[in-house]
Amino acid sequence: MSISQRKFSWNRFWRTPLAAPLLIGLAVRLAAFPLAHLKNPELVRHWEYAEIALNLAAGKGYSFDWGYSGHNFTFPTAYMLPGEVIIHYAALGPFGDTLPGHAVLFLEEVAFGGIFIFAMWKLLTLLFGESKRTRWGVWLAALYPGFVVACATYGIASAVLAIDALFLWSLVLTLSKFRTGERATLPAIGTGIFAGLLTQFRSESYLMLGVTAMALLWTYRRSFRSLLPIASVAALSMAIVCAPWAIRNEIVFHKLILTSINGGFNFWRGNSEQATGSSWKANGDPVWTTDAMWTQIEPGGRTDSLVEFTQDAYHRKAAMEWVRTHPKEEAVLAVKKIAFFWGVDPYDPRMGILYVAFYAITILTAMAGLFQMRKERAWKNNRVRDMVVIVATWAVLYSAVVIAFFSLERLQILMIGFYFPFIAVGAETMYAWLRKSVFTGALNTA
């Protein structure tokens, strides 16, 4: 490409509705660096990722540190999925647990924020064209406080928000090309890759993706045979992305482990005498294994890398027994979990007044968007219909996941990112209504 061609490309970029929100969105995220506490970052909030990454950097392999009976052991691990660990390793590996390492990790999170803005612009343009609601949506994606703060938490939120948006865009694009008879192989490959990446961050992704595939195959049941090759391409791409983690676990543990070995612990956190429906207790402490339970879990005289399986099985068994013997409490917990997930978690110390206010506005805007789309009969647009089917499926499934485990602020933020197109429609609708009302009121007063 010549210099003149590169200049033309940049000129074209500056004229797109993406340019300003993308650059300002990145600037706002960079300006949030005080929240990241770079000199003393809150890596302890996500200590598992950082610890495994630092062990990798120290030549100990993909391993985790465990403390038993006053002794510390480092064992190969499958306790955490590799997605966020690799992101931590890319920063902490070369630079260590230092200020430069923390700064690089923060910049990685900011970059994921930029990818989210770009992917949301592509999705909204695909759904609504170059309309006002697309511009509203891109600006909101750039400036929404929850997404900005996510890049300062050193957790999975920024990366998964970006991958979710890329996945939703590529999936809707694949189905759109399939309907019009265009070649859909490339977007199908992208869909599979993004789906595979999701499984490396969130264990429930296999369930979400599997049920979503069934929902879409049912939606397109009349074209099932024609759609099957495209679906196979996406499935194969996903399998290729997932394979390294599964193969590594088979070699190390001689077991088929597609996700992680912390499901039993998290299941117990949501279904036990300590469970509140949240990941937090009423006194502000996290729901966590007691010292008495930990003593029972400790292996007597035999400590090896299978300790993770011992811990997982112990918690799972304890939770199942509690569910069996406390059906009434389980029913109450289920209601609380849904209320916390779609509303506000009163036990979460991070849900201050600002978060609650912005979340209330978010829900109101999303509801306005849904109402407006129904009024416009927007589902007659096949792309919008596909998006609604996917988002509705994920909303139901994530509600089921929360009932099975517990409500978590991070899951709420991720779900907001997934139904963000509704928010874009609602914001554009509410602004138009307010502008018309104010303008009409001013005229009547005059």
Instruction: Specify the pLDDT at position 1.
Output: 45
How confident is residue 73, by pLDDT bands cut at 50, 70 and 90? Answer: confident
Structure pTM? 0.92
Q: Cα–Cα distance between 175 and 215 in angstroms, integer? A: 13
Instruction: Specify the pLDDT at position 45.
Output: 66
At 286, is the secondary structure helix, strand, or coil? strand
DSSP string across 369-422: HHHHHHHHTGGGSHHHHHHHHHHHHHHHHHHHHHHHS---HHHHHHHHHHTHHH
Domain boundaries, given as residue ranges, for the chain: 22-295+305-445
Which percentage of the chain shows pLDDT scores above 90?
A: 68
Instruction: Specify the pLDDT at position 302.
Output: 54
How confident is the model over 180-206, as a mean pLDDT? 95
How confident is residue 155, by pLDDT bands cut at 50, 70 and 90? Answer: confident
How confident is the model over 145-158, as a mean pLDDT? 90
Q: How far is CA 176 from CA 119, 168, 184, 381, in A?
A: 17, 12, 9, 10
Mean pLDDT taken over the chain: 89
Instruction: Specify the pLDDT at position 3.
Output: 46
Which percentage of the chain shows pLDDT scores above 70?
A: 92
Burial class of residue 206 (count of CB atoms within 10 Å of its CB; 0-12, 13-18, 19+): middle
Instruction: Specify the pLDDT at position 4.
Output: 45
Cβ-based neighbours of 115, under 8 Å, separated by 6 or more: 162, 165, 166
Which segments of 200-352 does DSSP mark as H helices, in order? 205-219, 224-253, 263-270, 291-297, 307-325, 327-342
Instruction: List pLDDT tens digits, range 214-224.
Output: 999 999 999 98
How confident is residue 5, by pLDDT bands cut at 50, 70 and 90? Answer: very low
Instruction: Specify the pLDDT at position 70.
Output: 64
Checking if the pLDDT of 36 tops 90, the result is no
Q: Cα–Cα distance between 289 and 437 in angstroms, integer? A: 55
How confident is residue 304, by pLDDT bands cut at 50, 70 and 90? Answer: low
Instruction: List pLDDT tens digits, range 342-361.
Output: 999 999 887 788 888 989 99
Q: Which amino acid is residue 41, in one-letter code?
A: P
Instruction: Specify the pLDDT at position 387.
Output: 94
How confident is residue 364, by pLDDT bands cut at 50, 70 and 90? Answer: very high
Q: Cα–Cα distance between 54 and 60 in angstroms, integer? A: 9
How confident is residue 7, by pLDDT bands cut at 50, 70 and 90? Answer: low
Q: Cα–Cα distance between 185 and 171 in angstroms, integer? A: 11
Instruction: Specify the pLDDT at position 441.
Output: 54
How confident is residue 442, by pLDDT bands cut at 50, 70 and 90? Answer: low
Higher pLDDT, 12 or 99: 99
How confident is residue 307, by pLDDT bands cut at 50, 70 and 90? Answer: confident
DSSP string across 37-97: -TTS--GGGGHHHHHHHHHHHTT--SEEEEEETTEEEEEE--SS-HHHHHHHHHHHHHH-S
Least confident interval from 24-38, 65-79, 430-444: 430-444
Least confident interval from 13-22, 151-160, 371-380: 13-22
384 close to 373: Cβ distance less than 8 angstroms: yes
375 close to 426: Cβ distance less than 8 angstroms: no
Instruction: List pLDDT tens digits, range 204-247.
Output: 999 999 999 999 999 999 998 999 999 999 999 999 999 999 99
91 close to 105: Cβ distance less than 8 angstroms: yes
How confident is the model over 254-267, as a mean pLDDT? 92
